[in-house]
């Protein structure tokens, strides 16, 4: 895949207006995980930058923090960093995460020192992000303020983008598995950090269920609920519906804001032809008993979804009963490069415009 950078850096966005927009620029709010979401958002920015009208679009991105992990004493936020690097032009494109032109001297040295774990690869450039984040957190800054600083380094404000972690409360997704790890009885449940299950175990050990430490007492970060309530459009990029979008939806207040906003909520399916495009979303849907299909994922958003973009291969599958009022459109949903991602983002905005604002302020 060739994800050459085509977003002009540090330019105001121009865009057309949806029927819902007022006299200001269109306010777009998106919920995102890592690679799938970031590639979609880069396409969205590219599409917006090509619009002829003079209004500035405001794009607020609400990022998943359930993937966060502390390694070597450093706080790592993989999904936020993937968004930063992708929108800022610093991502390793073929891989979709981590830094381009990366070296691994520090981790090699850590390995020589016997420091564990080694299954999570942290490059030297990437490490600088985590050192800076950890220092600022240690000085008492909330994660949202830290993320604003990192976003400035990557030129997001100049692109009209505000990146918000969904919460400043530390949360961590864990996966309950029933394997025969050393020291445990066969069949005894144990919880492993999501990253260990995803990266080291490659999601090959079936998940019994997911549990998110800290989620019940998590408070939405400043601006998160307002960004949903006051948006002209809310987009769900093709992110993992369980461990990316699902975690964001689990932060108290977020789901209610989506149900109550006047903005149309439009999602893009991460499942094409009954399979994830990349990653292990199928292994995440299994413990929920949800079918690995575009319709199955839509069902997870049934209480707030207004528009659903599916791949043409999935056009024939009906949405679950009770979701018939959701407008469904189909097109090619494979993000081959920035331009094809931009086309998908444009189609999502077109669908939002066709749906229009909600009249009563609630979808159900």
Chain positions contacting ligand GDP, by CB under 6 A: 32-37, 79, 82, 238-240, 244, 268-270, 272, 276-279, 281, 333-335
Name the nearest CA neighbour of 62 among 26, 27, 32. Answer: 32
CB closer to Ca ion, 67 vs 172: 67
Which residue spans within the chain are E strands per DSSP?
A: 27-32, 58-63, 69-71, 74-76, 161-165, 172-177, 190-193, 207-213, 233-236, 265-268, 271-272, 275-276, 307-311, 327-331
Report DSSP letters for 159-187, one per residue: GTEEEEESBSS--EEEEEE----TTS-TT
* Shortest Å, Cβ 155 to Ca ion: 23
Per-residue tokens: 231: 């948006």
* Shortest Å, Cβ 119 to ligand GDP: 16
Considering CB distances under 5 to 8 angstroms, the limit depending on partner class, which of Ca ion, ligand GDP, none binds residue 277? ligand GDP
User: 127: helix, coil or strand?
Assistant: helix
Considering CB distances under 5 to 8 angstroms, the limit depending on partner class, which of ligand GDP, Ca ion, none binds residue 37? ligand GDP
* Shortest Å, Cβ 94 to ligand GDP: 13
CB closer to ligand GDP, 36 vs 220: 36
User: 49: helix, coil or strand?
Assistant: helix
- Helix, strand and coil content of the chain, in percent to the nearest 5, comes to 35, 20, 45
CB closer to Ca ion, 18 vs 285: 285
Considering CB distances under 5 to 8 angstroms, the limit depending on partner class, which of Ca ion, ligand GDP, none binds residue 227? none
* Shortest Å, Cβ 278 to ligand GDP: 5
Per-residue tokens: 166: 């969904």
* Shortest Å, Cβ 247 to Ca ion: 9
Roughly what angle, to the nearest 10 degrees, separates helices 105-112 and 124-138?
80
CB closer to ligand GDP, 65 vs 169: 65
CB closer to ligand GDP, 158 vs 282: 282
* Shortest Å, Cβ 140 to ligand GDP: 28
* Shortest Å, Cβ 35 to Ca ion: 8
Buried b (16+ CB within 10 A) or exposed e, 121-136: ebbebbbebbeebbeb
CB closer to Ca ion, 20 vs 207: 207
Count other Cβ atoms within 10 Å, centred on residue 313.
15
User: 327: helix, coil or strand?
Assistant: strand
Residues that bind Ca ion (CB under 5 A): 33-34, 67, 79
CB closer to Ca ion, 49 vs 64: 64
Q: Give the whole-angstrom CA distance, residue 164 versus residue 168.
A: 9
């Amino acid at each position: 895949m060739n994800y050459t950078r085509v977003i002009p850096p540090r330019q105001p966005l121009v865009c057309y207006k949806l029927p819902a927009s007022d006299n200001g620029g269109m306010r777009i709010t998106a919920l995102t995980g890592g690679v799938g979401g970031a590639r979609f958002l880069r396409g969205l920015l590219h599409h917006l930058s090509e619009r002829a009208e003079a209004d500035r679009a405001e794009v607020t991105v609400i990022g998943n923090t359930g993937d966060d992990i502390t390694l070597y004493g450093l706080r790592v936020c993989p999904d936020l960093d993937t968004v930063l690097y992708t929108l800022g032009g610093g991502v390793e494109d073929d891989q979709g995460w981590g830094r381009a032109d990366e070296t691994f001297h520090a981790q090699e040295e850590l390995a020589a020192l016997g420091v564990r774990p080694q299954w999570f690869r942290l490059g030297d450039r990437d490490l600088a992000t985590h050192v800076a984040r950890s220092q600022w957190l240690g000085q008492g800054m909330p994660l949202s303020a830290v993320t604003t600083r990192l976003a400035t380094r990557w030129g997001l404000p100049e692109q009209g983008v505000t990146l918000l972690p969904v919460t400043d409360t530390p949360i961590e997704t864990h996966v309950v598995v029933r394997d025969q790890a050393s020291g445990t009885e066969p069949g005894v449940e144990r919880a492993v950090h999501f990253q260990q299950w995803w990266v080291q175990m490659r999601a090959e050990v079936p998940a019994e269920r997911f549990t998110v430490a800290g989620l019940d007492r998590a408070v939405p970060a400043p601006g998160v609920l307002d960004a949903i309530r006051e948006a002209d459009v809310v987009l769900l990029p093709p992110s993992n519906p369980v461990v990316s979008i699902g975690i964001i939806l689990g932060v108290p207040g977020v789901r209610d804001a989506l149900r109550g906003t006047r903005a149309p909520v439009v999602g893009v399916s991460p499942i094409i032809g009954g399979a994830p495009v990349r990653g292990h979303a199928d292994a995440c849907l299994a413990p929920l008993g949800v079918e690995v299909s575009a319709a199955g994922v839509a069902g997870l958003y049934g209480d707030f979804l207004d528009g659903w973009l599916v791949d043409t291969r999935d056009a024939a599958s009906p949405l679950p009963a009770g979701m018939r009022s959701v407008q469904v459109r189909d097109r090619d949903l494979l993000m081959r490069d920035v331009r094809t991602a931009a086309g998908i983002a444009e189609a999502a905005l077109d669908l939002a415009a066709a749906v229009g604002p909600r009249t009563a302020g609630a979808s159900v």
